[in-house]
């Protein structure tokens, strides 16, 4: 005899697996944590860029002691991003932590900068060959714009104009090489030597000659001639090296005497942040 519905009983409901949703408060905390980390990284990068520029342009002078609290007040930033920025600048060789004294702007010697230029010759001559091979029309336009922009803003004859153009030009060429590691190495070496334009070379530097050297490199890029570009790059850096060697043997700064900074740098310089 067939079973009645009540006798058969109720068929058990199929179990379904529901996704466990993250509670809203936990999601908000995760979002807030990410935002805080991003903000912290952004502030550290801002501190790093600002302090580095102050060192390179002699706002902070070689041999000057720095106080983190004073820099925080100057930049309107907290202690953490400033401390992280100084740690990175120590790795790059621009500052040094002296036990029981604090942070000091590292005073490179002319001999050290000559060694930096030797390294740049070895690396940048090869990088510019690769840059020719990888160059596009847009790259050439950007290189041209770097030189033309500097001439328009400064008339092409000031030290600031040269430093701005030289840094931007070499960074762009290095990036065009396609080798990010070597390009980063060149950037660091270039920044290490930038201060010496302000400290030692401002009285004798021929910014017009340097501009012509940049133009010669650019012309080789336009004609896609890697060997001509390599020769032009070598000559450009060797000319700088010769000026440094002349100062080392004949000019001011021998015997540990530091020459006066140029008028532009004197205007930027401030009393010791200690």
Tokens 């590292």, located at residue? 106
What is the pLDDT at residue 253? 43
Nearest to 106 by CA among 142, 59, 55: 55
The pLDDT of residue 90: 93
Q: What is the pLDDT of residue 39?
A: 57
> Please, are residues 264 and 53 in contact by the beta-carbon 8 Å criterion?
no
pTM beyond 0.75, yes or no: no
DSSP string over 177-225: TS-HHHHHHHHHHHHHHHHHIIIIITTT--HHHHHHHHHHHHHHHHTT-
Structure confidence by residue, pLDDT tens digits, 85-124: 999 999 988 899 888 888 999 887 778 888 889 999 999 9
Block means of pLDDT (10 residues each) for the chain, 274 residues, are: 52 50 56 51 90 90 92 94 94 87 85 88 95 95 87 59 83 93 89 75 67 92 96 93 76 42 47 48
Tokens of 48: 């790093």
Strand order in the sheet with 102-105: 65-66, 102-105, 95-98
13-40: b (≥16 Cβ within 10 Å) or e: eeeeeeeeeeeeeeeeeeeeeeeeeeee
State the pLDDT at residue 71: 94
CA distance 117 to 123: 10
- Quote the CA–CA distance of 137 and 142 in Å, as a whole number: 9
pLDDT of 19: 47
DSSP state of 271: S
Please list the residues that pair with 66 across neighbouring strands.
103
Task: Say whether 46 sits in a helix, a strand or coil.
Answer: helix
């Amino acid at each position: 005899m067939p079973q009645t519905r009540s006798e058969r009983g109720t068929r058990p409901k199929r179990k379904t697996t529901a996704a466990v949703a993250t509670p809203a408060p936990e999601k908000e905390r995760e979002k807030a944590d990410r935002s805080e980390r991003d903000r912290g990284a952004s502030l550290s990068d801002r501190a790093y860029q600002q302090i580095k520029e102050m060192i390179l342009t002699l706002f902070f002078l070689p041999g000057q002691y720095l106080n983190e609290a004073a820099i925080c007040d100057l930049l309107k930033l907290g202690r953490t991003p400033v401390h992280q920025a100084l740690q990175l600048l120590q790795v790059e060789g621009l500052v040094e932590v002296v036990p029981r004294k604090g942070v000091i702007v590292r005073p490179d010697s002319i001999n050290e900068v000559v060694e930096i230029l030797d390294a740049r010759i070895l690396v940048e001559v090869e990088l510019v060959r690769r840059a020719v091979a990888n160059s596009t029309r847009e790259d050439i336009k950007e290189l041209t714009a770097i030189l033309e922009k500097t001439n328009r803003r400064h008339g092409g004859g000031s030290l600031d104009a040269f430093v701005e153009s030289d840094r931007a030009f070499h960074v762009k060429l290095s990036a065009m090489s396609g080798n990010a590691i070597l390009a980063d190495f060149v950037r660091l070496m270039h920044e290490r030597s930038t201060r010496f334009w302000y400290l030692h070379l401002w009285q004798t530097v021929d910014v017009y000659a340097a501009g012509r050297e940049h133009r010669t490199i650019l012309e080789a890029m336009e004609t896609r001639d890697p060997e001509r570009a390599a020769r032009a790059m070598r000559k450009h850096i060797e000319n700088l090296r010769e000026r440094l060697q002349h100062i080392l043997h004949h000019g001011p700064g021998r015997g540990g005497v530091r020459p006066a900074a140029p008028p532009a740098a004197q205007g930027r310089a401030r009393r010791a942040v200690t």
